[in-house]
């Protein structure tokens, strides 16, 4: 798994190096590059290539779509760390973007990375029809704005220090802030290969569950706490009074919940037979990861 993740990281990072070099030189390129490179596990792009494999999509195309996803993800992390949000100083083992460049620059670098994703997807070197590109841009927009990351992040902040937030509300918030981008990664390959609605619906459910699993495990990692290994401060969620499954159900029950989710994801993947071996391995990695 490490080898495969490293390969994807390498390929996406070299795409970014070439792509950013071709951009006009502005004051924001430096903080944007800082937040993108080397940076991150690239797990969303791994899911994208796993599903892409099921439908036989070219790896090169998947890397470009993955780059767009990683831009949106990097933007969400810059904003997530801001003092008005989670107020975190360390990200990916280095100073968070606002600590390094100041708040205003961080906000604007985040905005620029968000829009860069749309630019990448609409580029002519993404060898897809315009019709498909528009479908992808529409879906990634819905995953990022008020019905996705931004909307989920606001709920996450609104739920802080509130008692009695129900399990359904927590799950809905986590699906928005984290799950929807995973849904995009599961659906993009099916959209590219014009799959029937039935397959799209199945992959959408799988994406929700994988994204939710990813966020719950992130919360477990924060709870267990090993800042050095994780590359960001841990044991913070409890301090800031975040509403998550651990605060609601306790640590052990949350672990049980993640195992149930895994079983549910695996059973939904059955329709893809052996072709789903790769995504199953990634799901196990997500479940067992400690960073
Ligand atoms: C962290 O995401 C933020 C969440 C949505 C939980 P990742 O754990 O994928 O962050 P990087 O990209 O590997 O740093
Ligand atoms: C962030 O969730 C989700 C995003 C959409 C950025 P967290 O706030 O738990 O992410 P970390 O733990 O800071 O990476
Ligand atoms: Mg947060
Ligand atoms: Mg955070
Ligand atoms: Mg977290």
| pLDDT tens column, 116-125 | 999 999 988 8
Residue 225 in this model has a pLDDT that exceeds 90 = no
Give the ligand 2 atom nearest the CA of 79: 6
Q: What share of the chain is helix, strand, coil (3-state, %, to 5)?
A: 75, 0, 25
- 114, 140 contact by CB (below 8 A): no
Q: Is 92 in the pocket of ligand 1 (CB under 6 A)?
A: yes
pTM to 2 decimal places: 0.97
* Average pLDDT in the chain: 96
Residue with the two structure tokens 């014009």: 194
- Rounded CA separation 174/168 (Å): 10
Residue 229 in this model has a pLDDT that exceeds 90 = no
Q: Is 43 in the pocket of ligand 1 (CB under 6 A)?
A: yes
Could you tell me which residue, 245 or 126, shows the higher pLDDT?
245
Whether the CA torsion 101, 31, 7, 201 is positive or negative: it is: positive
Please tell me the number of the ligand nearest to residue 143's CA: 2
Q: Is 178 in the pocket of ligand 1 (CB under 6 A)?
A: yes
Predicted confidence at residue 18, as pLDDT, reads 94
> Ligand 1 pocket test: which of 2, 73, 75, 179 has the largest number of ligand atoms within 8 Å of its C-beta?
73
Predicted confidence at residue 227, as pLDDT, reads 86
Which percentage of the chain shows pLDDT scores above 90?
92
Read off the tokens for 14.
């070299």
Q: Is 254 in the pocket of ligand 1 (CB under 6 A)?
A: no
Which percentage of the chain shows pLDDT scores above 70?
100
Q: Is 70 in the pocket of ligand 1 (CB under 6 A)?
A: no
Residue 129 in this model has a pLDDT that exceeds 90 = yes
Q: Which whole number is the average pLDDT over 89-99?
A: 97
Q: At 127, is the pLDDT very low, low, confident or very high (cuts 50, 70, 90)?
A: confident
Q: Please tell me the distance between residue 203's alpha carbon and the centre of ligand 2 in angstroms.
A: 24
Predicted confidence at residue 267, as pLDDT, reads 97
**Count of CA atoms in the C-beta half-sphere (13 A) of 176:** 18
Calculate the CA 51 to chain-centre distance.
15
Predicted confidence at residue 142, as pLDDT, reads 97
Q: Is 244 in the pocket of ligand 1 (CB under 6 A)?
A: no
| Secondary structure string (H, E, C) spanning 88-117 | CCEECCEECHHHHHCHHHHHHHHHHHHHHH
Predicted confidence at residue 291, as pLDDT, reads 85
Predicted confidence at residue 2, as pLDDT, reads 85
The DSSP code sequence of 222-274 is HHH--HHHHTS--SHHHHTT--SHHHHH-HHHHHHHHHHHHHHHHHHHGGGGG
Q: Is 96 in the pocket of ligand 1 (CB under 6 A)?
A: no
| pLDDT tens column, 235-291 | 999 999 999 999 999 999 999 999 999 999 999 999 999 999 999 999 999 999 988
Q: Please tell me the distance between residue 55's alpha carbon and the centre of ligand 4 in angstroms.
A: 34
- 167, 149 contact by CB (below 8 A): no
Nearest of 63, 35, 33 to residue 48 by alpha carbon: 63
- Rounded CA separation 73/71 (Å): 5
> Ligand 2 pocket test: which of 72, 78, 86 has the largest number of ligand atoms within 8 Å of its C-beta?
86
Q: Which whole number is the average pLDDT over 22-34?
A: 94
- Rounded CA separation 288/291 (Å): 9
Give the ligand 1 atom nearest the CA of 74: 12
Please tell me the number of the ligand nearest to residue 291's CA: 1
| pLDDT tens column, 32-51 | 999 999 889 999 999 999 99
Could you tell me which residue, 185 or 164, shows the higher pLDDT?
185
């Amino acid at each position: 798994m490490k080898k495969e993740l490293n390969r994807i990281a390498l390929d996406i990072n070299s795409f970014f190096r070439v792509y950013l070099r071709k951009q006009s030189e502005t004051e924001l390129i430096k903080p944007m590059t800082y937040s993108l490179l080397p940076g991150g596990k690239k797990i969303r792009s791994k899911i994208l290539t796993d599903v892409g494999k099921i439908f036989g999509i070219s790896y090169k195309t998947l890397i470009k779509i993955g780059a767009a996803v990683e831009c949106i993800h990097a933007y969400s992390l810059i904003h997530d760390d801001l003092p008005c949000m989670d107020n975190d100083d360390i990200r990916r083992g280095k100073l968070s973007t606002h600590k390094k460049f100041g708040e205003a620059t961080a906000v604007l670098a985040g905005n620029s990375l968000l829009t860069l994703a749309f630019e990448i997807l609409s580029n002519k070197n993404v060898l897809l029809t315009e019709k498909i590109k528009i479908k992808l841009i529409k879906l990634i927009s819905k995953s990022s704005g008020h019905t996705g990351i931004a909307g989920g992040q606001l709920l996450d902040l609104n739920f802080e220090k509130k008692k009695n937030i129900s399990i359904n509300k927590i799950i809905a918030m986590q699906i928005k802030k984290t799950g929807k981008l995973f849904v995009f990664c599961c659906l993009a390959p099916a959209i590219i290969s014009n799959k029937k609605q039935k397959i799209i619906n199945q992959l959408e459910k799988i994406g929700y569950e994988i994204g939710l699993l990813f966020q719950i495990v992130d919360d477990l990692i924060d709870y267990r706490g090993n800042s050095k290994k994780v590359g960001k401060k841990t044991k913070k969620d409890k301090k800031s009074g975040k509403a998550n499954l651990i605060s609601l159900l306790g640590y052990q029950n949350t672990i049980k919940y993640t195992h149930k989710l895994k079983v549910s994801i695996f059973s939904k993947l059955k329709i893809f037979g052996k072709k789903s071996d790769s995504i199953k391995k990634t799901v196990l990695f997500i479940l067992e990861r400690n960073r």
